[in-house]
C-alpha cells in the first residue's frame, strides 16, 4: 500500500476527551472515529488490525473443530421471552419495534437464537458434540460507554456455543476452548492470564475470564503462581487474617466519641490500630428489612460475595438514612454489634477479633473491649471481604511463605468462557435423542472474545511516548518504507519502488510513504502507527551502498546493504507466519 492511495488520518493533537492511552492512540493513529457515544467508524488503518485479530481467532476456532455460522443482529422478542431475559436483561438490551409494532432487540449476545436453531437442526446424539461460532456485531446499551472501543455500545465479538449429550462432553469442549483461548492470546503476542470468574447474569456454573494485563484495566485479578491460582477479585476467596481469636481480656467499656464517624477518625481519636476496629454495614435483607455485614475496619466489602448469602437481597441495596435510623437509633458511622437487633453476618477476619472497638448504636458513643459471644451473639461467619495484595492464597494450606501470597494486578477482560448447563436448552426445549432413543436436554457451553476490545487492550499493553508498539501479528503493516526526497531523487524513487514490489510480492505487508513530506513527519507517523520495521532510503546511504533499518522498539537504527535488509525482513516475516502454522 502506498500512502498516496491510503487514508492516513493521523492527528498531531492529543484528543481532549480520551482518558486512556489506547483511546488516544487509536484516534491519533487514524484507526477509529466516533459517530456517537460508544459507536465508532473503523478507518482502513484500524480495520486492518481488527481483521488480523479475527483471522487468528478464526484459525484457532476452526482448528478446535468449531463451525463458523452467522446469526442475525436483530432478534425477535419471542425468543427472549421464552428464556425469561426479555424482562431480566434490563437497560443494556436495545429494544425496538418493526412497522407492525412487533418487538425486537439488537442482539447483545446469542444464546436464544443459537439454542432455537440447534433445537430444530440437531436431532441425534450422533451429531454431538457440536460447537458453532460467529464473528459479529453486538449492541449493548452500556450505562457508561468509555475508553473508545474498549467499552463501546456497538462492538464486534466472537461468540461460540457448544451443545452436548452430557456434562463430561461439555467439560471436554470447555477445556479445549480454554486451551484455544490461550493459543489465540499467545499468537496475538499479548501478556494475559486466565482467571476463575463469576458467572454473572448469563447464568451457569463454571467460568473463566481471560485478561490482558494492563494498569488501566477495569478489573482486579488476584494470582499466586506457586499454587497455580488466579481469580477475578470479584470471586477470589479471602482467608481470615490475624490468626485464631484470642481470649477476651478487656471489659466492655463505653467511651464518648463526639463527632467521630469514620474508622480513620475513631482510630485517631482513641489512638488505636485499625486492626482493632470493626465496621458494621447495613444492607437490605432478602426477607428482613435489614442485615448487618461486619468487616474488620481496614477491610473492604466484596459486594458480589455478600449477594451470594441467601439472607442478603440481590442486587445489594444499601439502607438509606431513614431506613438506618429505623433499624438502629443512630447515624451510619455509629452502628455496632452490641445490642443490634438485625441478623449479623461477619467476615472470617472480623470474627477472629477479640477486645475490639465498634459503634454503640448511639451517635457520638463507641464501645471498646467488645467480645463476640460475651457482649453479643456469635455471628454467622461468611467470606465477605475483598482480597488484598499480600493475602495468603486460599490454596496455600498452612504455607505462609512469601510465595504463598496473592499478587493483585489490573486486567482487561478480553475473553470469557462459561459452562451454561441446561439453562437455555431447558427454556427453549433443545433436546436430542440419546443412544436409547430418549429425548434429553443438551448441556451447553458458551465462549466469547471481544474482537474490537482486543485491539484497544493490545495498545494499552504496548505503547510508548511516540505511539503504538504492535505485536508482530497484529500490526496493520509489517514494514514501512520511508524515502528521503522520493519526489526529487530518481534514484531514491527507483530503489523504493523496487523494494516495495519485491517485499509485497513475497507476501510482506508494506506501507510505502510516498507523500511529499519532510522525513521527520513521516518518522513520527510511522512511530505513532507502530509499524514494527522501518526502512529509510536516501541518497546519502545509497551512495555507500546502504539503507537504514530500524526496529520500532530498538533505540538505534542499523545500516545494512539492500540484500541484508531483504534477507532480514523475509526471515522475520516467515518466522511470524510459521508461528501461525505451528502455534
Does residue 129 have a cis peptide bond before it, meaning omega lies within 30 degrees of 0?
A: yes
Q: Which is nearer to ligand ATP, 27 or 152 (CB)?
A: 152
Cα–Cα distances (Å) from 236 to 30, 218, 279, 417, 517, in that order, read: 40, 16, 21, 17, 54
Q: Shortest approach of ligand ATP to residue 10 CB, angstroms?
A: 24
Q: Does 416 bind ligand ATP (CB under 6 A)?
A: yes
CA gap 460, 21 in Å, rounded: 6
Span from 152-160, 175-183, 283-291, 319-327 in contact with ligand ATP (CB under 6 A): 152-160
Span from 315-323, 379-387, 408-416, 542-550 in contact with ligand ATP (CB under 6 A): 408-416
Q: Which is nearer to ligand ATP, 372 or 418 (CB)?
A: 418
* 513 Ramachandran zone, left/alpha/beta (phi>0; psi -120 to 50): beta
CA gap 420, 414 in Å, rounded: 19
Q: Does 110 bind ligand ATP (CB under 6 A)?
A: no
Span from 402-410, 413-421, 547-555, 556-564 in contact with ligand ATP (CB under 6 A): 413-421
The closest alpha carbon to 150, from 195, 89, 105, 214, belongs to 214
Q: Shortest approach of ligand ATP to residue 441 CB, angstroms?
A: 23
DSSP state of 200: G
Q: Which is nearer to ligand ATP, 152 or 430 (CB)?
A: 152
CA gap 505, 511 in Å, rounded: 13
Span from 247-255, 281-289, 449-457, 571-579 in contact with ligand ATP (CB under 6 A): 449-457
Question: Among residues 6, 80, 155, 549, which is the contact residue for ligand ATP, using CB under 6 A?
Answer: 155
Roughly how many angstroms between the first and final C-alpha of the chain, as a whole number? 28
Q: Shortest approach of ligand ATP to residue 272 CB, angstroms?
A: 38
CA gap 372, 67 in Å, rounded: 59
* 408 Ramachandran zone, left/alpha/beta (phi>0; psi -120 to 50): beta
Q: Which is nearer to ligand ATP, 349 or 419 (CB)?
A: 419
Q: Which is nearer to ligand ATP, 39 or 311 (CB)?
A: 39
Q: Does 105 bind ligand ATP (CB under 6 A)?
A: no
What is the distance of C-alpha 68 from the center of its chain?
A: 24
CA gap 42, 26 in Å, rounded: 10
The closest alpha carbon to 73, from 160, 135, 121, belongs to 135
Q: Does 366 bind ligand ATP (CB under 6 A)?
A: no
Residue of this chain nearest to ligand ATP (CB atom): 450
Q: Residue 152: which residues within 8 A CB-CB, separation 6 or more?
A: 38, 39, 40, 142, 145, 452
Q: Does 217 bind ligand ATP (CB under 6 A)?
A: no
Q: Does 415 bind ligand ATP (CB under 6 A)?
A: yes
CA gap 381, 349 in Å, rounded: 9
CA gap 161, 425 in Å, rounded: 12
Question: Among residues 59, 103, 141, 142, which is the contact residue for ligand ATP, using CB under 6 A?
Answer: 142
Q: Shortest approach of ligand ATP to residue 414 CB, angstroms?
A: 5
Question: Among residues 450, 471, 530, 532, which is the contact residue for ligand ATP, using CB under 6 A?
Answer: 450
CA gap 158, 177 in Å, rounded: 13
Q: Residue 287: which residues within 8 A CB-CB, separation 6 or more?
A: 311
Span from 389-397, 448-456, 556-564, 573-581 in contact with ligand ATP (CB under 6 A): 448-456
Compute the residue count for the chain: 583
- The three-state secondary structure class of 103 is strand
Question: Among residues 60, 112, 347, 413, which is the contact residue for ligand ATP, using CB under 6 A?
Answer: 413
Strands 444-450 and 253-256: unpaired
Cα–Cα distances (Å) from 251 to 224, 365, 492, 503, 573, in that order, read: 41, 16, 90, 84, 75
CA gap 212, 230 in Å, rounded: 13
Q: Does 347 bind ligand ATP (CB under 6 A)?
A: no
Helix residue spans in 122-226 (DSSP H): 167-187
Residues in contact with ligand ATP, counted by CB under 6 A, come to a total of: 16
Question: Among residues 27, 122, 157, 537, which is the contact residue for ligand ATP, using CB under 6 A?
Answer: 157
Q: Which is nearer to ligand ATP, 93 or 537 (CB)?
A: 93
- 328 close to 335: Cβ distance less than 8 angstroms: yes
Q: Does 414 bind ligand ATP (CB under 6 A)?
A: yes
Binding mask 453-482 for ligand ATP (x = CB under 6 A): x-----------------------------
Q: Which is nearer to ligand ATP, 99 or 144 (CB)?
A: 144
Span from 344-352, 409-417, 491-499, 517-525 in contact with ligand ATP (CB under 6 A): 409-417
Q: Shortest approach of ligand ATP to residue 108 CB, angstroms?
A: 8
Q: Does 372 bind ligand ATP (CB under 6 A)?
A: no
Q: Does 552 bind ligand ATP (CB under 6 A)?
A: no
Q: Does 533 bind ligand ATP (CB under 6 A)?
A: no
Q: Which is nearer to ligand ATP, 111 or 375 (CB)?
A: 111
Beta strands in 526-574 (DSSP E): 533-537, 547-551, 558-560
Binding mask 183-212 for ligand ATP (x = CB under 6 A): -----------------x------------
Q: Shortest approach of ligand ATP to residue 208 CB, angstroms?
A: 11
Span from 280-288, 445-453, 556-564, 566-574 in contact with ligand ATP (CB under 6 A): 445-453
The closest alpha carbon to 337, from 347, 523, 203, belongs to 347
Question: Among residues 24, 28, 85, 151, which is the contact residue for ligand ATP, using CB under 6 A?
Answer: 151
CA gap 515, 485 in Å, rounded: 10
Q: Which residues pair with 413 in a beta bridge?
A: 211
Structure-block grid coordinates of residue 373: 459471644
Q: Does 285 bind ligand ATP (CB under 6 A)?
A: no
CA gap 505, 520 in Å, rounded: 28
Span from 112-120, 249-257, 447-455, 472-480 in contact with ligand ATP (CB under 6 A): 447-455
Chain residues binding ligand ATP by CB under 6 A are 109, 140, 142, 151-152, 155, 157, 200, 413-416, 448, 450, 452-453
Amino acid at each position: 500500500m502506498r500512502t498516496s492511495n491510503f487514508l492516513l488520518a493521523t492527528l498531531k493533537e492529543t484528543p481532549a476527551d480520551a482518558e486512556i492511552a489506547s483511546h488516544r492512540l487509536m484516534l491519533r493513529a487514524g484507526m477509529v472515529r466516533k459517530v456517537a457515544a460508544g459507536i465508532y467508524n473503523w478507518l482502513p488503518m484500524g480495520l486492518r488490525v481488527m481483521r488480523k485479530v479475527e483471522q487468528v481467532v478464526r484459525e484457532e476456532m476452526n482448528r478446535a473443530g468449531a463451525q463458523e455460522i452467522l446469526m442475525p443482529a436483530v432478534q425477535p422478542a419471542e425468543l427472549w421471552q421464552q428464556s425469561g431475559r426479555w424482562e431480566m436483561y434490563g437497560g443494556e438490551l436495545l429494544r425496538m419495534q418493526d412497522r407492525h409494532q412487533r418487538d425486537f432487540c439488537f442482539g447483545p449476545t446469542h444464546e436464544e437464537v443459537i439454542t432455537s436453531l440447534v433445537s430444530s437442526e440437531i436431532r441425534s446424539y450422533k451429531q454431538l458434540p457440536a460447537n458453532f461460532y460467529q464473528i459479529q456485531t453486538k449492541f449493548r446499551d452500556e450505562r457508561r460507554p468509555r475508553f473508545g472501543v474498549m467499552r463501546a455500545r456497538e462492538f464486534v465479538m466472537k461468540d461460540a456455543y457448544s451443545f452436548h449429550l452430557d456434562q463430561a462432553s461439555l467439560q471436554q469442549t470447555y477445556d479445549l476452548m480454554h486451551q484455544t483461548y490461550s493459543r489465540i492470546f499467545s499468537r496475538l503476542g499479548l501478556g494475559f492470564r486466565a482467571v476463575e470468574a463469576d458467572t454473572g447474569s448469563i447464568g451457569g456454573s463454571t467460568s473463566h475470564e481471560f485478561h490482558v494485563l494492563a494498569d488501566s484495566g477495569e478489573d482486579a485479578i488476584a494470582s499466586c503462581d506457586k499454587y497455580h491460582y488466579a481469580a477475578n477479585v470479584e470471586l477470589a476467596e479471602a482467608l481470615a487474617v490475624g490468626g485464631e481469636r484470642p481470649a477476651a481480656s478487656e471489659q466492655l467499656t463505653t467511651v464518648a466519641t463526639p463527632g467521630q464517624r469514620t474508622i480513620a477518625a475513631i482510630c485517631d481519636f482513641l489512638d488505636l490500630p485499625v486492626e482493632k476496629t470493626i465496621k458494621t454495614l447495613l444492607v437490605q435483607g432478602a426477607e428482613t428489612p435489614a442485615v448487618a455485614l461486619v468487616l474488620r475496619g481496614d477491610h473492604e466489602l466484596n459486594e458480589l460475595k455478600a449477594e451470594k448469602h441467601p439472607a442478603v437481597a440481590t442486587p445489594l441495596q444499601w439502607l438509606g438514612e431513614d431506613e438506618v435510623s429505623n433499624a438502629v437509633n443512630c447515624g451510619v458511622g455509629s452502628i455496632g454489634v452490641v445490642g443490634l437487633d438485625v441478623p449479623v453476618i461477619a467476615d472470617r477476619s472480623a470474627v477472629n477479633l477479640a477486645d475490639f472497638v465498634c459503634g454503640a448504636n448511639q451517635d457520638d458513643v463507641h464501645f471498646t473491649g467488645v467480645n463476640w459471644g460475651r457482649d453479643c451473639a456469635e455471628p454467622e461467619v461468611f467470606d465477605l471481604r475483598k482480597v488484598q495484595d499480600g493475602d495468603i492464597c486460599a490454596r496455600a494450606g498452612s504455607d505462609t511463605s512469601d510465595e504463598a501470597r496473592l499478587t493483585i494486578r489490573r486486567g482487561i477482560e478480553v475473553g470469557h468462557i462459561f459452562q451454561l448447563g441446561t439453562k437455555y436448552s431447558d427454556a427453549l426445549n433443545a433436546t436430542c435423542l440419546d443412544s436409547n432413543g430418549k429425548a434429553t436436554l443438551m448441556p451447553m457451553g458458551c465462549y466469547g472474545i471481544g474482537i474490537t476490545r482486543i485491539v484497544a487492550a493490545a495498545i494499552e499493553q504496548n505503547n510508548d511516548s511516540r505511539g503504538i508498539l504492535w505485536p508482530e501479528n497484529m500490526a496493520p503493516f509489517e514494514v514501512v518504507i520511508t524515502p528521503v526526497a522520493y519526489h526529487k531523487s530518481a534514484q531514491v524513487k527507483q530503489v523504493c519502488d523496487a523494494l516495495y514490489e519485491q517485499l509485497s510480492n513475497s507476501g510482506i505487508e508494506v506501507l510505502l510513504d510516498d507523500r511529499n513530506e519532510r522525513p521527520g513527519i513521516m518518522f513520527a507517523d510511522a512511530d505513532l502507527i507502530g509499524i514494527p520495521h522501518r526502512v529509510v532510503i536516501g541518497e546519502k546511504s545509497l551512495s555507500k551502498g546502504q539503507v537504514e533499518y530500524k526496529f520500532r522498539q530498538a533505540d538505534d537504527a542499523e545500516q545494512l546493504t539492500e540484500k541484508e535488509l531483504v534477507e532480514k525482513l523475509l526471515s522475520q516475516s516467515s518466522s511470524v507466519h510459521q508461528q501461525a502454522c505451528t502455534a
